Amino acid sequence: MLLQAPFPPDIRLEKEITSLNRNDFRVVLLCNNYGNVKKKHFSGVIIERLWAPFRNIRLNQIMNFPVFFNPHFILRAVWLVIKYRPDFIHAHDLPMMPLGVILKILTGKPLIFDMHENYPEALRYFNKKGMLNKIFKNPALAALLEKFSIIFADIIISVVSENTERLKAQGVAPDTLREVSNTVDLETFIVGGETAGIKEFEGKQIIIYSGTVGYERGLEIPVEAMKYLRRSFPNAALAIVGEGTAIPFLKETAVQHGVQDMVMFLAWPGHDQIGKYISTAEICIISQPSNPFINTTIPHKLFEYMAAGKPIIVSDAKPLKRIIEETGAGEFFVSGDAKSFALAASEMLQSTSKYGDKGLAAVRSKYNWKNDEAELLAIYTQLSESVK
C-alpha cells in the first residue's frame, strides 16, 4: 500500500488493513513521515515510513512531497518491492498512482487505484496557497494525471456511486470499477460512553459537527443559521468539534451575526472518543455544499452519525441528499442558505419522526463496513487469480 500522508490515523486505511489482515493478507504500507516523532504502530500492518531528514517539519514536507519523480519516494518504494516481493500494489488516492504505475511496470503485479475522492475537484475547493501547491496541486494537471492513472489501473475503487458514474461517463470500463464505501465498522465504532466531562453541553440542545474544520466544509452556514434559531430555541447551541484552518474565520462569522454565545469550538478528542460527543447531540450535521467535489464523495461521519442513532441535517449535495432521502435519517437544506438550514433544524427539533431509528436501521442492514469488507475481499480474490 502507498499513502501520501503519515499513518496512523486514517479511518479508511485502518478498516481496509484490518479486514485484509484477518483474511490472511500481509499488508506493507509505505507512508510519509514529517516530524520524526515516536513511531506509532497499527495492528496487522508493517509500516515503512519515509525518512524525515530535517528537524523542521516544513522542510521535511518539501523533501517528502509526494510527486512521482521524487527520488526519495521512488528509491524507498523500489527497495521495499525487492524486500517484500508484493503480489499487489494498492495506491491510496491520486498522488500515489504514478508511483504505483512505476511499481506495476517493474513487478508486473496488479495495481489498485483506491480513489478516496475526486481529487482534481478537491484541489479546486481546498484552494491551497503557495508555489509548490500551485505547481504540484494544480486541478488541471491533476485531471490529466487522473486520466493517465486510469489507463494503468487494474481495479479502480470509488467510495460512492456518483463517482463511479463520473468515471463511466469518461469511458472507464465498467468491469474495472468497484465500490468500497466509507461506511462505519459497527464492531469498532464506539457510541456513547462517559459524557459527564463535557460541561459545555449541559442544559443545551446540541447541534454538532465533528471532523476537520476547513473552509470547504461550509460551516459558516450553520453558524449564521443560529441567529434564526435563537428566538424559538434559546438553548440551542452549535458545537464544532475538530481542528482546522477555518476556525478563526468561523469565530469572526459568529461575532458578525451576534451568535458567539451559541457557537462553541472544541478540540478534536480522537476518533476513539468522538462517539461520546455525538451521543449527547440532538442533531448531527454535514454542511459541505453541493459542488463537483462533494457530489462525488461521501464522508465517514454520515454513517457514524447514523450508527449513533442521531437525526442528521445534510446539504443537498447529491450523495448526501440521496442517502438521507432513501433512509429517512434526517433532512437536507439548500446549499449556502442559512435560512434553509435553520428551517430544517427547527423542523427536526420539534418533530416526533424517528430519524435516528431509521438511520440506525439503515446502517445495520446496508451501510456498514461488513458489507464493504466483502466487496474489498472480492476484489483481492479476483486479482489473486492473475498472480498465481
86 contacts: CB under 8 Å, gap ≥ 6: 28, 107, 109
Q: What is the mean pLDDT of residues 207-223?
A: 96
Per-residue pLDDT, 341 = 98
Q: What is the mean pLDDT of residues 191-211?
A: 79
The domains of the chain are located at: 11-183+369-387, 199-365
Give the whole-angstrom CA distance, residue 8 versus residue 11.
9
CATH of domain 199-365: 3.40.50.2000
Residues 242, 275 contacting (CB under 8 angstroms): no
Same fold: 11-183+369-387 with 199-365: yes
Residue 40 has pLDDT above 90, yes or no: no
Residue 196 has pLDDT above 50, yes or no: no
Give the whole-angstrom CA distance, residue 100 versus residue 84.
15
Q: What is the mean pLDDT of the chain?
A: 90
Q: What is the mean pLDDT of residues 197-207?
A: 85
Per-residue pLDDT, 73 = 83
pLDDT in tens, 71-91: 778 899 999 999 999 999 999
For the CA atoms of 76, 65, 296, 90, the dihedral, rounded to the nearest 10 degrees, stands at: 0
Q: What is the mean pLDDT of residues 302-329?
A: 97
Q: What is the mean pLDDT of residues 12-40?
A: 88
In the chain, % of residues over pLDDT 90: 75
Q: Please provide residue 250's backbone torsions phi and psi, each rounded to the nearest 5 degrees.
A: -70, -35
Per-residue pLDDT, 57 = 61
Provide the CA 304 distance to its chain's centre, in angstroms.
Answer: 12
pLDDT band at 41 (very low <50, low <70, confident <90, very high): confident
Would you say the C-alpha torsion 319, 321, 325, 331 has a positive or negative sign? positive
Residue 208 has pLDDT above 90, yes or no: yes
Q: Please provide residue 230's backbone torsions phi and psi, each rounded to the nearest 5 degrees.
A: -55, -45
Q: Which residues of 83-211 form beta strands (DSSP E)?
A: 89-92, 111-114, 155-158, 177-179, 205-210
Residues 108, 89 contacting (CB under 8 angstroms): no
| Partners of 31 in the β-ladder | 49
| Partners of 238 in the β-ladder | 207, 263
Residue 131 has pLDDT above 50, yes or no: no
Rg (CA), the chain: 21
Give the whole-angstrom CA distance, residue 189 versus residue 371.
15
* Helical segments of 183-334, H only: 220-229, 247-256, 274-279, 300-307, 318-327
Residue among 219, 282, 288 at smallest CA distance from 254: 219
pTM for the model stands at: 0.91
- Of the candidate ranges 1-15, 130-144, 300-314, the one whose mean pLDDT is the lowest: 130-144
Q: Which CATH number fits domain 11-183+369-387: 1.20.1330.10, 3.90.1150.10, 3.40.50.150, 3.40.50.2000?
A: 3.40.50.2000
- Burial of 8 per CB tally in 10 Å (0-12, 13-18, 19+): middle
Give the whole-angstrom CA distance, residue 202 versus residue 290.
33
